[in-house]
Amino acid sequence: MAQKNDTRDKYTYRVTWSEEDTEYVGLCAEFPSLSWLAQTPEAALKGVGKLVKDVVADMRDNGETVPEPIAIKHFSGKFMIRVPPEIHRQLAIQAAEAGVSLNRLASAKLSR
């Protein structure tokens, strides 16, 4: 039975090609310093998954805080961004001309 704080298989994994290493590299978004090189994408994913599992176990054994998986985090849908005043003005003009709020315009631009 899984423990309440069990985070296995909930982390965000990605496999990409590394031209520099001429191998596939497995990555985990919650652990950006970890990676695993392998000849196949499947082996890279399996390798980084085991590495993350081992690191999480080590962190728990040492009383360290284990990163929360992005997949289970709550997001409010709000974040603040600073832009130069001229960009702010240009976006406000575009929003007014489109008949939408600045927030709606920015959200549409970010979702492209």
- Residue owning tokens 């690191």: 55
Confidence of residue 2 (pLDDT cuts 50, 70, 90): very low
CA–CA gap between residue 13 and residue 72 (Å, rounded): 14
pLDDT digits (tens, 9 = 90+) for 55-84: 999 999 999 999 999 999 999 999 999 999
CA–CA gap between residue 73 and residue 89 (Å, rounded): 34
The pTM assigned to this predicted structure is 0.73
Q: Domain boundaries in the chain?
A: 13-72, 75-112
CB-based contact 105:90 (threshold 8 Å): no
